[in-house]
Chains A and B, each alone.
Chain A
Amino acid sequence: MGDLSPTLFMNKQTIYYLTVLKGMMTLTRKTHLTPWLLIAPSIIYLTIFIAIPILGTVKLAFESPEGIFGNFKLLLSSKDFQNALLNTLMLAAIVIPIQLTLSILLAMLVNRKFSGYRTLIFIITAPLALSDITAGLISYSIFAPNGYLNRFLIAMNMIERPIYFFGYMFKSREFLIVVLTEIWRATPLVFIMILAGLQSINKEYIEAAEVFGFNAWQRTWKITLPLLRPAILSALLIRTLFAFQLFGVVWILAGRDIQVLAGETYYWYVFRNNRNVASAYALIIAVLTFVVGWLYVKTIRSKHLEEGA
């Protein structure tokens, strides 16, 4: 059963018959040439615009006046690189668990289908429309010296002078704001994936548990969450992949005060005009992406096999 989509609308048995039917019809068509002809243009396009440029990135990254590992020697010995790697990983490690918890809670809440839950889904997913730089700018309107938080606190007579969240002097505050902004901006994506998983869980399992006298708490921990595992795992991996691309929010809010891998790539290319070091950074992002992406594909594949595809 290769496709999830019909499962949202039909029961398992119907899908089974349809799959068998589809299989029989397709088997009668012996030729394998047509599908490949249809797929070939996409593969060629992605080879030209993704695969070959990645090789180009590798070539550029190993091109340096100081021998083939020149750029990487420079990276490994620089504080900037260590900071960038550490910050990227740390932001992921802080932001993702919070997003996941928040998303599961929100998805379970919405899935109770109280009145107005559709509106709530739209409200939660609204930030999904925003680009990372837009999110950064919006967050700035709240936390800027003359932003709403400070205005509010001053109007309430809770503080006399504005609290500064940005600037080289306030790195840890900047870090906090970046974390908050990322949670705000990217939770909707995790939420949507968890909700999709939740909606595909067969209600009968939960009803059965109810019949056997499980209370709501037990139902959540013993039935819903284990069944949600594939969705959670996918969301986790996709979010981790996106975390390595973290750029706009940080760049808008903190510039290079908080260095991240993608930000350093941009900095070395645009401001230092050095495409070799920029490519070395890009290559490190690529390697991280490949490792997690491979895990993701492996997970999907095993899920696939479990379901007997």
Chain B
Amino acid sequence: MKILYPLIFLLVTFFFIGPIVLSFVASMTPSSEFYDYSKIFPSKLTLDHINKLLFTLGGLRALFVSVQVALVAIGVSFLFGIPAGYAIARYIFPGRDTVKLVMLFTRSIPLIVVSVALVTTYIRLNLADTVLGVALAHAAMILPFIVIITSSIFSSVFVEYEEAGMVFGLSRFGAFLRITLPLALPGLAASAIYAFIMSWNEVFAASVLSIQNRTLPAHILSTAMASPDYFKYAMATVMAVPALLFIFIIRKYLVSIWGISLN
């Protein structure tokens, strides 16, 4: 069994990471070598395709839209979600379990179900085809997740610390701000990053709710089919690199993010 581990390790690594690395290489293969079957890997790597995608084909603009959407969505969902998460963690009140279940249930509703109907509402509210419109929809996708995860984070911060702060004259809000929030910060940061990835990757609502101000995945969805292969791979690289970086940063929290939200 001991000898088998390295072998399994390699196999698993190749299966899960291999395709990502290969598509990175493909995105940096010079176009002249793209249809040359004589070699598997290119003789040199180039950033031409990625540069063109970003600077000539509107990729950078879409990337900025994506970042704006994600930041606004995180802001809105944290603004609404943190108080709710705190209430679920710290108060016992009739209907508490129901609220939790409602959040779990809402989390499972995909934006696909509401996107088309939202367009009609957005036209009335002057939100159609705006960055804010997409961001608000993403916030609705992220919010139940934030409520569930922050309630778990807050309940893992001992209530005694907060009570002690209140004994020493802090108000409840002051105790939250000075004691619980700083202790919960790493977990909250990890959830914010996870929320960023959720918004960064969401494509359906972004495509339906915007035409001019498309996010990166929406931009890719509408242009990938008609693009040469090397641009397709460049798109994959531009989408994958930031998300992989973020997942790497929060790798220690992943088990607890998904483990906790099981509850």
Binding site for B on A (CB under 8 A): 2-6, 8-9, 18, 21-23, 25-27, 29, 32, 34-36, 38-39, 41-43, 45-46, 49-50, 52-57, 59-60, 106, 109, 114, 116, 120-134, 137-142, 144, 146-148, 150-152, 154-155, 162, 184, 188-189, 192-193, 195-197, 199-200, 230-231, 234, 238, 241, 244-245, 247-248, 251-252, 255, 262, 265-266, 269-270, 275, 278-279, 282-283, 285-286, 289, 292-294, 296-297, 300-301, 304, 309
B44-52, B55-63, B243-251: which lies at the interface: B243-251
The dominant DSSP class at the B interface is helix
Partner of A138, one of B101, B110, B240: B240
- In the complex, number of A-B residue pairs with CB atoms less than 8 Å apart: 335
Asked whether A146 lies within 8 Å of B232 as measured between CB atoms, the reply is no
Asked whether B22 lies within 8 Å of A141 as measured between CB atoms, the reply is yes
- A-facing residues in B98-117 (Cβ within 8 Å): 99-106, 108-110, 112-117
Q: Cα distance A54–B120 when bound, in Å?
A: 12
Contact flag A60-B108 (CB < 8 Å), given A42-B80, A123-B13? no
Interface bracket on B:
35 or more
Asked whether B236 lies within 8 Å of A4 as measured between CB atoms, the reply is no
Contact flag A124-B91 (CB < 8 Å), given A49-B139, A131-B200, A297-B101? no
Contact flag A269-B8 (CB < 8 Å), given A6-B156, A199-B255, A200-B259? no
Asked if B213 is at the interface (CB within 8 A of a chain A CB), the reply is no
Binding site for A on B (CB under 8 A): 5, 8-9, 12-13, 15-17, 19-20, 22-23, 26-27, 34-35, 37-40, 76, 79-81, 83-84, 86-97, 99-106, 108-110, 112-121, 136-137, 139-140, 143-144, 147, 151-153, 155-156, 158-160, 163, 197, 200-204, 207-208, 217, 220-221, 224-225, 229, 232-233, 235-236, 239-240, 243-244, 246-248, 251, 254-256, 258-260, 262-263
Residues of A close to B224: CB separation below 8 A: 133, 137, 252
Query: What are 11 sample pairs from A and B whose C-beta atoms fall under 8 A apart?
Result: A26-B92, A35-B91, A36-B95, A49-B139, A56-B118, A141-B23, A154-B37, A248-B203, A265-B116, A293-B109, A309-B97
